Amino acid sequence: MKKSPGPVDRHVGSRVRMRRILVGMSQERLGEALGLTFQQVQKYEKGTNRIGASRLQQIAQVLGVPVTFLFEGAPQDRPATNGGFAEPDQVEYSFDLLSTPDGVQLAKAFMSIDDPKVRRRVVDLVSTLAEGQKNGR
């Protein structure tokens, strides 16, 4: 019986996706560098297929990161601190943001703003828009 990928496998796959997007590489190009099809890269990124140790090292080299980068923020076996109602970690929000091309573009644009007051206004604007969407406006 084949063992299905767990939360760490999915986390590592999504870190591969995040880094690939950050460096502006397509799944096809990563696949070519690894001698794989883009479909296999897709399966790795979704966590559908587990990534073996030597392949993990190869991916890290192609993406220009240490292997440890792919495990940063990985889920650990630890009990919930307050009955499971904790807010998601800031790391999760950052990870979710940087896992999409729009998120990467937004983060790059935000980081190019030098004036802290303007940055604060951007955060306020996005917060207002998000709150309005939550309330159905």
pLDDT tens digits, one per residue of 25-37: 999 999 999 999 9
Per-residue pLDDT, 45 = 92
- Token couple for 112: 């190019």
Residue 6 region by backbone torsions, left for phi larger than 0, else alpha for psi between -120 and 50, else beta: beta
Per-residue pLDDT, 31 = 97
Q: If we measure between CA atoms, which residue out of 121, 31, 108, 16 comes closest to residue 63?
A: 16
Ranges of the chain with pLDDT below 70: 1-2, 77-96, 98-99, 137
CATH code 1.10.260.40 region(s) in the chain: 7-71
Three-state SS string across the chain, please?
CCCCCCHHHHHHHHHHHHHHHHCCCCHHHHHHHHCCCHHHHHHHHHCCCCCCHHHHHHHHHHHCCCHHHHHCCCCCCCCCCCCCCCCCCHHHHHHHHHCCHHHHHHHHHHHCCCCHHHHHHHHHHHHHHHHHHHCCC
Per-residue pLDDT, 34 = 97
Q: Give the class (CATH, top level) of 7-71.
A: mainly alpha
Per-residue pLDDT, 52 = 93
Per-residue pLDDT, 30 = 97
